[in-house]
Amino acid sequence: MNIEIKEHVFPSGQKLQLVQGDITDETVDAIVNAANSYLAHGAGVAGAIVRRGGRQIQAESDQWVQQHGRVTHGEPAYTHAGTLPCKYVIHAVGPRWGEGDEPAKLEAAVYGSLGRAEQLGLSSIAFPAISTGIFGFPLPEAAHIMISTVVRYLTSHTGLSLETVRLVLYDHEALQAFIQVWEHNDHLRS
């Protein structure tokens, strides 16, 4: 069971939540998959999503790449969610640590995912710690970028469909990194 650790309600009524748990258990409208540009979902979060949601997710991903080409950082793909408890999976391409311009690429992936959710008319979305697994992005820096990007998006996009953004951290180390950044973000202090 996923446990909400922190919540901030913005003046617009939109919510940002920090959650410990498994993103594949989220009952939001869409979960974000930390994907590669070919949407080959083999390991990490992507592998867990396909194992839990079924082969339909990989089949739709393959079809997306055939129709649209490789997925970029700022323009995530989306598929239906198969047997997951959400409606969609938004496939965000996070940067590999060491490829160059990683902070801007991670920011683009988060911002693009929020925009895609809005484009789909969704009210809720959940993110994992994008690029912090096999792509090697340092957790503290990823936490800072992800939180500040979501805060910037929610404070500059009010009156839209997106009401709730959840940051879902699977392990204790990731949770602690995000809590530390959360507690030092001026917009999130209560």
Q: In which band, very low, low, confident or very high, does the pLDDT at 154 lie, cut at 50, 70 and 90? A: very high
pTM: 0.95
Whether 3 has a pLDDT exceeding 80, the answer reads: yes
Taken in order of first residue, the domains within the chain and their CATH numbers are 3-188 (3.40.220.10)
Of residues 79, 153, 61, the one with CA closest to residue 110: 153
Q: How far from 58 is each of 16, 49, 63, 82, CA to CA, in Å? A: 29, 10, 9, 10
Q: Kind of pairing, strands 3-9 and 15-20?
A: antiparallel
For residue 160, the model assigns a pLDDT of 79
Q: Where are the alpha helices (H) located in 32-71, listed in sequence order?
A: 44-53, 55-68
Q: What is the distance between the alpha carbons of residues 75 and 91, in angstroms, rounded to a whole number? A: 9
pLDDT tens per residue across span 13-65:
999 999 999 999 999 999 999 999 999 988 888 889 999 999 999 999 999 99
pLDDT tens per residue across span 95-153:
999 999 999 999 999 999 999 999 999 999 999 999 998 889 999 999 999 999 999 99
Instruction: Give the Cα-Cα-Cα angle 146, 182, 141 (nearest 5 degrees).
Output: 45
Q: How far from 47 is each of 55, 66, 165, 175, CA to CA, in Å? A: 11, 20, 22, 21
Q: In which band, very low, low, confident or very high, does the pLDDT at 190 lie, cut at 50, 70 and 90? A: low
Question: Which single residue is written with the structure tokens 């992800």?
Answer: 146
Give the pair of three-digit tokens for residue 120: 């789909």
